[in-house]
Amino acid sequence: MLNTLIFVALPYVALALLFGVSISRYLTNRLTWSAYSTELLERNLLYWGSNPWHYGIIPLLFAHLIPVIFATAVALLLGNQATLLILEGIALGLGLLALLGILLLLLRRVNSSILKRATYFSDWLILILLLVQTGTGVYMSAFLRWGSLWYLHAAVPYFRSIWYCNPQVEYLADFPPVVKLHVACAMVILAVLPFTKLVHLLYLPIDFLKDAPILYRWRGGRVAKREF
């Protein structure tokens, strides 16, 4: 029953909400599509949290997506033990970087009284979900060996079965609870994403990582340069 809920019902509910609500929100209220900046409310932890988070999570998202699209090529790549060890180490490092970033971003919201007033329930929810998702990912990378291989040979066929509307629960049914929590949390994130400011992720905001500093001009003649 629990496996059916996590691996059959939840994915289709999440996909329906992701596509349906995202398209509706984009067409009817495009001004809320991107996340508003809170840099003027708190700057230091935003810098130290946002950069590790984005530099860690964006490569990991692509690392999860590429085997789904190019399974044969990835299988050949992971067949080399040295390559596998290197990639596993890189993935763990990126996971720890993302985990540090999301912890600092959550701490930033908790510690700033003025920022709390601009923080909604959806902000707390998505931050906690991302913390759980990143934390379980790091745990699996550290303690469940050769995650790249079992992801390729178990998770990828399962994801494809979902896409082809023929869910094959048996691929993941016997995995440890932490794996099921990781999958379930990912589905919940997809489901709530269109209702949150994280929807800007769908716009692929990668260019901001190399943006030039934005120039602020303040009344009174002071000039400050801060970088998002």
pLDDT tens-place string over residues 3-42: 999 999 999 999 999 999 888 887 887 666 666 666 666 6
Which one-letter amino acid corresponds to residue 179?
Answer: V
Output the pLDDT for position 67.
95
How far does CA 221 lie from the centroid of its chain? 41
Secondary structure of residue 217 in the 3-state scheme: strand
Query: 187: closest CA among 8, 14, 19?
Result: 14
Tell me the DSSP string of 169-181.
GGGTTTS-HHHHH
Q: Does residue 188 contact residue 182 with C-beta atoms inside 8 Å?
A: no
What percent of the chain is predicted at pLDDT more than 70? 81
If you average pLDDT over residues 163-184, what whole number do you get? 94
Q: Does residue 136 contact residue 182 with C-beta atoms inside 8 Å?
A: yes
Output the pLDDT for position 27.
82
pLDDT beyond 50 at 228 = no
Rounded to 10 degrees, the C-alpha dihedral 111/112/118/121 comes to: 10
What percent of the chain is predicted at pLDDT more than 90? 59
Give dist(CA 138, CA 142) in Å, integer.
Answer: 6
Output the pLDDT for position 57.
94
Output the pLDDT for position 227.
47
Q: Which residue has the tokens 């979900």?
A: 129
Output the pLDDT for position 145.
82
Output the pLDDT for position 30.
66
Output the pLDDT for position 37.
63
Query: 133: closest CA among 217, 61, 83?
Result: 61
- Helix, strand, coil share (%) of the chain residues, nearest 5: 75, 5, 20
Output the pLDDT for position 196.
85
Average pLDDT of the residues of the chain: 85
pLDDT tens-place string over residues 92-140: 999 999 999 999 999 888 887 778 777 788 888 999 999 999 999 999 9
pLDDT beyond 70 at 224 = no
State if pTM tops 0.85.
no
pLDDT beyond 90 at 175 = yes
pLDDT beyond 50 at 165 = yes
Domain ranges of the chain: 2-226
User: At the topology level of CATH, where does 2-226 sit?
Assistant: Fumarate Reductase Cytochrome B subunit (1.20.950)
